[in-house]
Amino acid sequence: MLAAGLLEELRDFHRRYNQQKVADKRQDYQHGIFQSIGFKEFHEFLVSEGSCSPETSALLLEKGIQALKQVTKRYARRQNKWVRNRFLKRPGPNVPPVYGLEVSDVQRWEEDVLKPALEIVESFIQGREPPAEPLRMEQDEENKRSHRVCELCARLIIGDREWAAHTRSKSHLHHLKKRRKLEASGRTVGDSGDTETSDEDGSLPVP
């Protein structure tokens, strides 16, 4: 980004749109374009450039560069987490396949990233099978077809992940607490073959 002219772009933007806001003490880096990564990190450098020593300016520039690296990494981690949660952990009928590309070597960007990405996109446009395999859905590792009956809540739960979520739900824990109280007082619910006792919410425990 720096080699591509980031500093010149920042200086121009600061001079045209930001310098007066800073002077009037009405700058807000939490709204609009001013909150974008790569601008506010260089605030100290931009507002002091030309009014401080070259050594101080160089230190502020390096501080801005390090801040830019940190927030960029954080943003990339958030993006990866969002993609995993949205497309790999909770896939739905309208979720497209996700492809992983090798991006660790910037010197091989065109070979490892650009070229295979374009091939995948072109294959979809032309209705062909992509040359690469999509990433496996994380749900593939669970038994999504398992069926369990929660006797406390009188519900049929399908899928291991759904069962784990149900057993932690407030409704299930409420019924569990209620049954334990009944057992502690020497009473049982629905243990005879000819009686059914409904809970307050209308659900029937399974004998």
pTM, 2 dp = 0.54
The pair of structure tokens assigned to 150 is 């929660």
| Contact (Cβ atoms closer than 8 angstroms) between residue 122 and residue 113 | no
| Contact (Cβ atoms closer than 8 angstroms) between residue 188 and residue 182 | yes
| Contact (Cβ atoms closer than 8 angstroms) between residue 199 and residue 175 | yes
Give the span between the Cα atoms of 19 and 51, in whole angstroms. 14
44-79: pLDDT as tens digits:
999 888 889 999 999 999 999 999 999 999 999 999
DSSP label of 192: S
Q: 143-151 — which CB contacts under 8 Å span 24+ positions?
A: 149/206, 151/205, 151/206
| Contact (Cβ atoms closer than 8 angstroms) between residue 178 and residue 199 | yes
44-55 as b/e: b if 16+ CB within 10 A: bbbbebeeeeee
DSSP, residue by residue, 78-144? HHHHHHIIIIIIS--TTPPP------S-GGGHIIIIIHHHHHHHHHHHTTPPPSSPPPPPGGGGS-T
90-140: pLDDT as tens digits:
766 677 888 988 888 989 999 999 999 999 999 999 999 898 888 887 654
| Contact (Cβ atoms closer than 8 angstroms) between residue 10 and residue 42 | yes
| Contact (Cβ atoms closer than 8 angstroms) between residue 18 and residue 46 | yes
DSSP, residue by residue, 48-63? HTTSS-HHHHHHHHHH
pLDDT over 90, % of the chain: 29
Average pLDDT over the chain reads 82
The whole-number pLDDT of residue 154 equals: 87
How many CA atoms lie less than 13 Å away from 117 in the CB half-sphere?
A: 10
Q: Average pLDDT for residues 187-193, to the nearest whole number? A: 48
- Residue whose C-alpha is closest to residue 174's, from 197, 194, 132, 203: 203
More confident residue, 207 or 82: 82
